[in-house]
Amino acid sequence: MPNIKSAKKRVLVNKTKAMQNKAAKSALKTELKKFEAAVVEGNRSEAEGAYKVAVKAVDKAVVHGLLHRNNAAHKKSAMTIKLNKLA
């Protein structure tokens, strides 16, 4: 445990930020899984709705620094290909 007051605060802030990041990553994974489930089910209209939500979640993750922009582009591209195969 740190002795300096600012270092103590930094430990607490880092713990809080780590929990927030973990929750945000978990929410992102949940949205991606919902899309995948809709695609596997073969329900086009449900998949389209889940696609819009998932893409928005991926874009938010990039803004918040949870994903690299290239990784996000790769995920969105893969989702688009899966969605178009349903047609």
**What's the burial of 58, exposed, middle or buried (CB within 10 Å: 0-12/13-18/19+)?**
buried
Reported pTM? 0.86
pLDDT score at 1: 81
Domain spanning 5-86: which CATH class is it, in words? mainly alpha
DSSP letters for 25-49: HHHHHHHHHHHHHHHHHT-HHHHHH
The answer to whether residue 87 scores a pLDDT higher than 80 is no
pLDDT score at 8: 96
pLDDT tens for each residue of 13-67: 999 999 999 999 999 999 999 999 999 999 999 999 999 999 999 999 999 999 9
